[in-house]
Amino acid sequence: MLAKGSLSWIGTTMLFTAVTRYFSFISSGFIKVLISGLSIIALLLTLFFLVFFRDPERKPAGDEDDAVSPADGRVISKNERTIGIFMNIHNVHVNRAPLSGTVIEIDYKPGGYIPASNKDSDVNERNHVKIKTDNGNIELIQIAGVLIRRIVSYISEGSQVKRGERIGMIRFGSRVDVIIPEVYTYTVNVGDKVKAGESIIARKKEKMRGEQWVRT
């Protein structure tokens, strides 16, 4: 399955591949070599976009109250209520809702071209999404990377989202910061790899205490 909003990218490179392939057949000499080279580049770009814009089905782990990761990638920062997840170029870039609830705020801001893994990427294009859940508000900050600044949102204010549901996409290198409700605690640490809509990143504190009591 391909990510929503990706067909224009893939269609453009496929069309360019077909056109340059045709002209390479009817050309000769240096022009033929040049156009053939362009055709190969276009074909490689098409294959890259097909891989990059993949959007596999995901099944959330755990219970309905367990928060799942909004993004594929690696945890690069963490404090009591906030983590940052960096998505590399090879990761799936479709983002998902960590918990079920109602979207109560979407605040989009344009910005610069700082690498998303950099602490100074606060100036980059970003989209702040706040979701009201039964256990408090959870917030996501989608941050675009150094290449192409384009955050695509699949939701709007007032939308009802389910845990693990697709909510948007960030094209190319990017990061998602997560701010969990006060009743939650993180189950992941810096360096951990996570999958959007599948990996559990936080659980309710009372549940964690209950599990610890059972183990002891």
**Which of 117 and 104 is assigned the larger pLDDT?**
104
Residue 122 above 80 pLDDT?
no
Q: At what angle do helices 29-52 and 7-26 cross, to 10 degrees?
A: 160
List 6, 39, 69, 174, catalytic entry: 174
What residue spans define the domains of the chain?
A: 7-52, 67-205
Q: What is the pLDDT of residue 146?
A: 60
**Which of 58 and 53 is assigned the larger pLDDT?**
58
Fold of 67-205: Glucose Permease (Domain IIA) (2.70.70)
* Strongest mean pLDDT among 11-15, 27-31, 151-155, 158-162: 158-162
Residue 117 above 80 pLDDT?
no
Per DSSP (E only), the strands in 156-208 are: 160-161, 166-170, 174-179, 184-186, 193-194, 200-204
Respond yes or no: is residue 27 known to be catalytic.
Answer: no
